[in-house]
Amino acid sequence: MAQPSLTSTNGGWRCCCGLFTLPEHRILPVMVATADVWMGLGAGMSIRYFPIFFVDNLSLNPVVVQLMFILSPLGQAVTMHIAQVYAKRIGRCRMTVLFKWTGILFMIAMVCVYEFWEVAEPNNDMKKTWLILILYLIRTTLMNSTSALTKSMLMDHVPPSERSRWTALEAVNMFSWSGSAAFGGILVGWKGLVFNFCVTATMQWIGTFPLIALFGRDKGEGIVDEQHGGGEEERRQQLMRRDCLSVAPRRQNEDDEDERRRPLLSETNETLSDDMTREPRSRQPEIRRV
């Protein structure tokens, strides 16, 4: 039995079984939304269980745990700025995938440190705990710092009249967090917290595949065109040159019109000056005979 798959056509992507056709202008929004929802499902499986992991498995004080959740948004503010700067060079899709993959690697490193630290350095739990906390902070800041990039891609490629519908996907993501957290609880009860974290990393890695398929399609943030050797700055200069070339003929026509009008204006001014210098004729009062 043939398995359905997406094939690229001139008018978009269609399923080989003929079940549906994805128009060209819908490809990027649908793929970005799919990646966001899928990675949101993966994040919801573990985000509720990190405090339990810190308190029960690492024996941290609740105050320290809350300080971790305070530092995480501060780090996100820095990494979000870095992501927006470098997205103008390599593209928003590439930057998002780069940050996601790096965050997934830090997640795997955190799990490996927790599982195998006792073999490398026994009786050194404090160093192990602080290393896991640092890895968690870096992982969280990287994974959550690309939301502005994906949202800008979504808004740039949908009509203004449909932006509210696509923004409603944020509510779907929030709902999916609760649903996936329930599924994560099943995994925790079955295999434990660490196994749940591994499943989360796998789902988030799979969630980057739709963004990888969009490499080269997103031209909104200055992807360097390798074939033509230009970037955003060069395209901006080309647009400026095109505008100047389109304005030049209009200016030339206006100058020609001014040249044609100048003799008429000079003649009119001379006539008016002659009329003003000429003495007015004296008017004799009319004598009416009775």
Instruction: Give 6's contacts (C-beta < 8 A, 6+ positions apart).
Output: 13, 14, 15, 16, 22
Residue 228 banded pLDDT, cuts 50, 70, 90: very low
Confidence at residue 243, expressed as pLDDT on a 0 to 100 scale: 58
Q: Taking the mean position of all CA atoms in its chain, how far away is CA 144?
A: 12
pLDDT tens, position by position, 139-163: 999 998 998 888 888 888 888 887 7
Looking up tokens 């789902």, which residue turns up?
A: 203
Between residues 126 and 131, which one has the greater pLDDT?
131
Q: At what angle do helices 62-90 and 125-143 cross, to 10 degrees?
A: 40
Report helix, strand or coil for 190.
Answer: helix
Cβ pair 103, 142 in contact under 8 A:
yes
- Mean of the pLDDT values across residues 165-175? 70
Mean pLDDT score across all residues of the chain:
76
How many other C-beta atoms can be found within 10 angstroms of the C-beta atom of residue 160? 7
Looking up tokens 């795997």, which residue turns up?
A: 108
State both tokens at 130: 């602080």
